[in-house]
Structure 1
Amino acid sequence: MPREIRNLLCAAIAAAATTAGAVAVIAHADGDGTRKITGTVDAAPGLGWTVEARTVHGHESAQFRDPVYGSEYDWGMPGFLDLGDTAVALVGVPGGMALDDAHLVGVDADSGRIRWLSPAGDLAGCADSAVDATLVCFTPGWSDEPALVGYDLVTGEITRVPTEWGTFAIAATDDRLYVAEGSVENDDVRVHAGTLLDPDAHFTRAFDMGTGWDDTALPDALDVRHGQGLLTLGTDIAGFDLDTGDETWTAQVDGCSRVQPTLGALVVRVHVECDGLRVTGSDLLDGTGAVIAATDSAAAHSPAFDSPADDTVPVLLGDGAYDRATGDPVWSAPELVSVPREPDEYNANTRLGTVRAVLGDVALLTDHTAHTETGLDLRTGTRLWQNVPERSGTVLGHTEDLVVQSDFTGLWAMDVRTGDLEWDIPFLAVDNDPDALGDGGTLSVRPGDRYVYVSARSIIGLRPL
């Protein structure tokens, strides 16, 4: 995503504000207030609660946004962060370059009660997970007083830690904060690890790499969730040890190529020519940066979820599966590649990857040419089932066996091992305003078959009847 030179931080962040009446809990005979959604099967979750952006914020045009992308620019990305018992979303008024009058709102993920509402103007971005029960964000590095800004998940209380850094990316684990900062245009970059109050307590490491500001993609520049640190800036990528910060390897991505970190400190590198964005192959890099598997297949995969059960589940490249430890080929399957039904001079060599999600030891595939949806056993390459679906949506979440998809009409869940439809929730059965939920959103799957879904205008909590 393009990143432009940032504006100065102009709004002082005030103390947290608390509100209580912004949630509409739907009454029902059930003791917990869950309402059965009209027309749904008994297996479908009911509607537990609804939170509207305009009610939380107070402005009729307010909308929810993903905190990861910050409020300094309005990227138009509905979303929230599932941080344990608290769901956190940005809420503000779109219309200009920035998200105006922006606040972070903390919502009790089980009841929908508003826990807190805190000012969040001109944030450049936030980590996608909490550290020490605090969501950490950062202000633009170009501001007069750059800072890391922490939000207590229980109270919304703000802790502001001034820095002299030009921060451009941030990430967190349960007990450690990672901050990437420096001048990317001068190949003068550092990664720090520490806490909010002492952000370089564990280490500071310099990296001789960089790019133009326009090529600095957030939040993908810094990854710490796949067994190693990964810093990606333009055509430069570097792996580093999460405990010490020591650089473990470096590599390059050519042209418009991209990298996809995966379980086991592995990286899939997809080679893409900028002219026509033609894929020329993919390879697999291990934790030392060595290429352990490669394919020249023009089919590349971009799963919405890459959640293998463990490191014995192979990695998918092109039409084949490769061992995560050795890179040895395990099996191949034609279902992994979509080919044109009627090749001609324009599409004869077109090959598209079909993997939409890796869930445990099953891959969900969609072939838009053949109009099929398939479940594939990742350990053997065996086809488990194949359907001709009535509709195709975006994969938003999953439990152990259910995958939840969405389009502008609603949410539906399918058993990934059988292909059977388990439940379907039309948005109009939840809210008769067609714009309330169907404008694209994100979903969190919570323990006990509970779900939180957020669109630009509303957040809803779904739970068993």
Structure 2
Amino acid sequence: MKREIRNLLAAAAVAVVTVTGAVVTVAQAGDDGTRKITGTNDAAPGLGWSVDAAAMYGQAFAEFRDPRTGSEFDWGSSGFIAEDDVVVSIVGVSHGGMTLTDPQMFGIDAGNGAVRWQSAADDLGGCAEAPVDGRLVCFTAPLAEDPALVGFDLRTGEVTRTPTDWMVFAIAAHDDRLYVAEGNIEDDDVRLHAGTLADPDAQWSQPFAMGSIWEDDLTQALDVAHGQGLLTLGADVAGFDLDSGRPTWTTRLEGCSRAVPGDGGVVVRFRTECDGYRITGSDAIDSDGRTIVSTEGAGAQNLSFDHPADESLPLVVGDGAYDRRTGERVWTSPDLVAAREPDEYNSDTVRGTAVAVAGDVAILRPGAQTMSGLDLRTGERLWTHDDKRFGTVAALDGPSLLTIDGDGIRAVDTGTGESLWDTPFRKIDDDPDALASDGMLAAPHPGHYVYASSRTMIGLRPLPR
């Protein structure tokens, strides 16, 4: 397998860099090879490196894929896992959005874009988002010929396989502990285990009488990152203690309802009818299974990004904010709900306006061309701006909220709503499709960003001052 890599660092001293048809115009170059992107302001990061999936893989039409969704099927999700100084992504050639040809796991140096390692990644059902003992841990597809838990050493790419007779369907990791969900979900015969890659049930094992169908999306079945364990299968939801595996509570999702975990071990259940997809209310359930908040009517807050500064900040539900421990209402705001026109897919006439919680600010989208910020502690509106280009909230870097859209990456000050900087994709690569498709952005370190579309991955970092 060829390991060609498009690495722009080699051309730091030139003013115009051309790689596979892409043109990057450089206004100045930093001493460390970071290039200022033409047309950006002084606050904007420079381009540290850029790599092309097809060049890395050695075959045209190869694309980056998120390791969390595995390689058994092609979910079409561009992405990566960034950990310390390495970025890990699966690369393969998609066959009609169904499968990937000869998928490979790549470890890419977050500092310079160089390929550190490459390992075969066939038939993976999924991978945990956090590492365990320095390894990215994945599981083979439930019906794999040689089922195993598979670890990729983040430094070297060395593969460690732990054979198992389990039918694993979900995996997660937290605080260097591995959590594995396995069993026949169609017979309500499920078990959870906690341990290590070498001994995955070393700490505990616990049965759960709950299930679903294999056709369901199981990529979100297991969550351990919000202060308690949460297992969701079909209409069944169960909380569990992370240290012992002890089940702490259960609930049902009626109709088309869904449950979303949040900080402080609070789960928000959106009560939704399948007919017209009408939301009838929202509930907040604490780690003991108590419903501490219950609201009626539409106006559910569907956050695409939920990262409060700490657990003392209230939970936004409906038109108000509530204490995460007691459920006491802290404040209400009419800004949290807005009228909407019902359509064939959604009969609600009211919608929630919050799209993100970033630090101590709730980011609202009250209108198609308006963005606002509310102080989470008081409910006071901090700012409102006309904004025709909002994009998807992707990351938080201190007070900077980063959004992405088809045009580029933008940073907004959460305290004022002012735009801090804007990096257009076409100033990095003049191919309109190189960076604009279904991208993922992460901020692994302050001022340092990694972005990947299906075709291209880039590293942005501060310019030397």
Is the deviation greater in 26-35 or in 104-113?
26-35
1:120 partnered with 2:105 = no
Tell me the amino acid that sits aligned with residue 195 of structure 1. Answer: T
Please, what TM-score do these two structures have when normalized by structure 2?
Answer: 0.93
Indicate the residue corresponding to 1:389 in structure 2.
Answer: 387
In structure 2, the CA distance between the partners of 1:106 and 1:244, relative to structure 1 (3 Å rule), is same
Unmatched segments (≥5 aa) in structure 2: 14-28
- Matched to 1:123, the amino acid is L
Q: Deviations over 1:336-357 (max 9, x none)?
A: 11214x899x999511111111
Q: Specify the code of the residue in structure 2 equivalent to 1:363.
A: A
Q: Report the counterpart of residue 424 of structure 2 in structure 1.
A: 426
The offset of 1:140, in angstroms, is 1.2
After TM superposition, give the deviation of residue 112 of structure 1 in Å.
1.2
Corresponding position of 1:360: 359
**Per the alignment, in what secondary structure is the counterpart of residue 36 of structure 1?**
strand
Matches within 5 A, 1:278-293: 278-293=278-293
Q: RMSD of the TM alignment (CA)?
A: 1.8
| Corresponding residue SS for 2:124 | coil
Assess if the C-alpha contact under 8 Å between 2:43 and 2:420 holds in 1: yes
Q: Distance in 2 between matches of 1:332 and 1:278?
A: 23
Contact 1:20 1:113 in 2 (8 A): no
1:104-136: per-residue Cα shift (whole Å, max 9, x none)? 111111221211111101111111111111000
C-alpha deviations, 1:338-386, integer Å up to 9, x for none? 214x899x999511111111111101111235x3100100010000000
Q: Following the alignment from structure 1 to structure 2, what is the Cα–Cα distance between the partners of residues 234 and 278?
A: 19
Q: 1:218 maps to which residue?
A: 218
Alignment correspondent of 2:338: 338
Shift of 1:21: 4.5
Q: What is the DSSP-based 3-state SS (H/G/I as helix, E as strand, rest coil) of the residue aligned with 2:35?
A: coil
> Does structure 1 conserve the Cα–Cα contact (< 8 Å) formed by 2:5 and 2:52?
no
Q: Would you say 1:463 and 2:461 are equivalent positions?
A: yes
State the AA in 1 paired with 2:176. Answer: D
Equivalent position SS for 2:43: coil
Contact 1:20 1:115 in 2 (8 A): no
Check 1:126–1:348 CA distance in 2 against 1; reply closer, same or farther (3 A cut). Answer: closer
- In 2, the alpha carbon distance for the partners of 1:19 and 1:55 equals 7
SS of aligned partner of 1:54: helix
Residue equivalent to 1:372: 370
Percent sequence identity over aligned pairs? 54
Query: Cα deviations across residues 405-444 of structure 1 (Å, max 9, x unaligned)?
Result: 1111111111011010111111010001111001120111
Residue 442 of structure 1 is matched in structure 2 by 440
Determine if contact 2:278/2:346 at 8 Å carries over to the other structure: no
Residue 417 of structure 1 corresponds to 415
The residue that corresponds to 2:167 in the other structure is 166
Indicate how the Cα distance of structure 1 residues 398 and 424 shifts in structure 2: closer, same or farther if over 3 A, else same.
same
Q: Structure 1's 171 and 18: CA in aligned 2 closer, same or farther, altered over 3 A?
A: farther
CA shift for structure 1 position 392: 2.1
Q: Are 2:25 and 1:27 aligned?
A: no
**Cα distance, 1:446 vs structure 2:** 2.7
What is the deviation of 1:388? 1.0
Q: Deviations over 1:249-300 (max 9, x none)?
A: 1111111101111111110010011111111100110111110111013011
Do the aligned partners of residues 154 and 19 (structure 1) sit closer, same or farther apart at CA in structure 2, a change above 3 Å counting?
A: farther
**Per-residue deviation, 1:102:** 0.5
Higher mean C-alpha displacement, 79-88 vs 148-157: 79-88
In structure 1, what is the equivalent of residue 190 of structure 2? Answer: 189
Q: Distance in 1 between matches of 2:379 and 2:297?
A: 18
Identify the residue that residue 320 of structure 2 maps to in structure 1.
320
Structure 2 Cα separation of the partners of residues 249 and 163 of structure 1: 29
Aligned to 2:398: 400
- The one-letter code matched in structure 2 to 1:24 is L
Deviates further, 228-237 or 22-31? 22-31
Measure how far apart 1:144 and its partner are.
2.2
TM-score w.r.t. the length of structure 1 is: 0.93
- Greater per-residue strand proportion: 2
Letter in 2 for 1:94: S
CA contact (8 A) 1:69 1:218 kept: no
Moved more, 200-209 or 17-26: 17-26
In the aligned structure 1, how far is the partner of 2:5 from the partner of 2:370?
A: 46
Aligned length: 446
Name the structure 2 match of 1:12: none
| 8 A Cα contact 2:123 2:144, kept in partner | no
Alpha-carbon distance change, 286 to 93 in structure 1, aligned in 2, over 3 angstroms: same
Q: Find the counterpart in structure 2 of residue 7 from structure 1.
A: none
Give distance in 1, aligned partners of 2:73 and 2:446. 36
Q: Distance in 2 between matches of 1:309 and 1:349?
A: 31
- 1:95–1:321 CA distance, 2 compared to 1 (3 A): same
